[in-house]
Structure formats: C-alpha cells, structure tokens
Amino acid sequence: MGLKITALPSGFVRGVAGSGVTLQRNHDRTFDLQMMFFAITGGDHVVLVDSGTSDEAFVREQHGYKSFQRPEEEEPTRVLAEAGIDPADVGTVIYTHLHWDHCSNPELFPNARFIVQAEELAFAMDPVPIFKKAFQRTETAQPPIVSVLGRVDTIRGRKEIAPGITAIPLPGHTPGSQGVLVETDAGGFLLAGDCIDRYENWEGDGATQAHLPSASFINLIDYYESFAVIERLGAEVIPGHDPRVLERRVFG
C-alpha cells in the first residue's frame, strides 16, 4: 500500500481581507481560511504534518482572533479518531513552520519526534516584535513546541524524513518554513504550508503574476525563490489554508 495524505480540519476564519491573503491583489473581496493539519499513513508509522490549533477560547483571548471558530467536531482528538488514527501511533510530526495555528497540541502525541528547521525554531524563540503573537511568544503564552523540546529534532535544509516523505525548505513566509513532498501511488503531492495559503496564491492573478505571496512574510526574495523550488518539484500543490482541500480530503 502506498502513502496516503488525509487533511484534518482545525478551525477556520471567514471573510479575511483579500489583500491579506494575496499580496496587493483581491482588494475588493474576502477569503475564508481553513486551519488544517495532515496525516500521512501507509508507511511504517503515522506521520503528521503540523498539529492543529488550540481551542477557540484560547485563540480568541491570546491571539485576538475574534472571528476564529473551532467547532467541537474539529477538536483534534476527535478528527484523528474519525480518521482512524490513535495519537499514540504518531511517530513523527513535521512542522511546516511554528505559527500557532500549525503547531499547537504537541502534547497529544506522547511517542512522536517533532521535526522543524533549525532556523524556524530559533526565530520562534525570539521573533521580531510584530510576529511575537503569531509564534505565541508573549508574556501570557509560550510557543507550543516548548512543551516538547526534549523530543524536537532540528534539521537544516532538504531532508528525507521517512521513505517517500521529504522536507523541502520554502522560506519567505517565515525564516524556516518548509513544505513536505509526499510520493504516493497517484504521484507527488506537496504540502506547502503557508508558502501557499490558497489555490489563488499558486494560480496567480492571471495577468502579470504567476504566483502570489501572502501579505504575511518575512522575506519576499526568499518567498519567490521558494515558488521556483515548487515549480521544479512538479508535484501537485496542497495549500495550507484552502477550504477546498477539505472537500477532497484524501490525496494519493
């Protein structure tokens, strides 16, 4: 049996300003953003890509996202159970980056190693002020990964994590953002993290821009180089926040 990717929901925000999702484009529209994490099954242990969000009350209080909703049916242990996954069977969690909406709940996985780019971990501990909240590095909260630091393995650059599962650095959105390339029987898929929020980011503006960065970035030059890396991979892109990913749900 080959590898299979299952998208798991973890809350959402509706009506986000278009130009916040696609830099300098879509000023006159809004987008819905779905928070997600992903399970890769079919290998010798379950691999997760990201680990979801905290509960709604915590997110509203700590992050000021009054419009964030995480209905009961999107609570992480429940979505994992529905996907037939026992958290104790998760052997590896690969973090695309350490923004709060991707890396909460690590304590749910007692037998997992947590893999992150070294540069991302360093930045999460000491972000520039405007990004402190995004990394949950505040006076009232701490980055979720801190609770499992003893089980964190940092990597530098591209690395095969398990057969058919490769971490691909895609900096720009954050310093150590990475995607995860998964080779399935149905071809290669790239879990792009927040390098590609929605399909609109990858599809561009249909005129002068082949791809559109998010308005949330640390380095636009790196961001465009990451687009070029993705083009060369030739894999199907799975965006990090597009509700349409959940409609399809299973890849591979």
Of 36, 42, 37, whose CA–CA distance to 4 is shortest? 42
242 binds Zn ion (CB under 5 A): no
Count of residues in contact with Zn ion, rule CB under 5 A = 2
Q: Between 99 and 198, whose beta carbon lies closer to Zn ion?
A: 99
User: In the bound complex, what is the minimum distance in angstroms from residue 84's beta carbon to Zn ion?
Assistant: 28
Residues 102-131 that bind Zn ion (CB under 5 A): none
Check: CB of residue 210 under 8 Å from CB of residue 227. Answer: yes
CB 33, min distance to Zn ion, A: 10
Smaller CB separation from Zn ion, 194 or 222:
194
- Supply the minimum distance, in Å, between the C-beta of residue 85 and Zn ion: 24
Q: Single out the segment in contact with Zn ion by CB under 5 A; choices: 106-114, 144-152, 157-165, 186-194.
A: 186-194
- Three-state secondary-structure class, residue 194: helix
Neighbours of 20 (CB within 10 A): 16
**Quick check: 194 binds Zn ion (CB under 5 A)?**
yes
DSSP H helical ranges for the chain: 18-21, 56-63, 76-82, 100-103, 118-125, 199-203, 220-233, 243-248
Q: Which is nearer to Zn ion, 6 or 136 (CB)?
A: 136
Instruction: Report the nearest approach of Zn ion to the CB of residue 43 (Å).
Output: 26
Q: Give the tokens for residue 251.
A: 């890849």
Min dist. Cβ of residue 107 to Zn ion (A): 21
Smallest separation, CB 195 to Zn ion (Å) = 9
Select from 40-48, 67-75, 148-156, 187-195 the region that touches Zn ion (CB under 5 A).
187-195
CB nearer to Zn ion: pick between 70 and 99: 99
Q: Which residue in 4, 25, 70, 99 binds Zn ion (CB under 5 A)? A: 99
Pairing of strands 113-117, 90-94: parallel
| Residues in CB range of 97: below 8 A, 6 or more apart | 103, 120, 173, 174, 176, 177, 178, 193, 194
- Is residue 125 classed as helix, strand or coil in its secondary structure? helix
CB of 125 to Zn ion, least distance (A): 17
Per CB under 5 A, 4 contacts Zn ion? no
Query: By C-beta, is 193 or 252 nearer to Zn ion?
Result: 193
By CB atoms closer than 10 A (0-12, 13-18, 19+), residue 80 is buried
Sign (positive or negative) of CA dihedral 133, 61, 112, 172: negative
* Residues at the contact surface with Zn ion, assessed by CB under 5 A: 99, 194
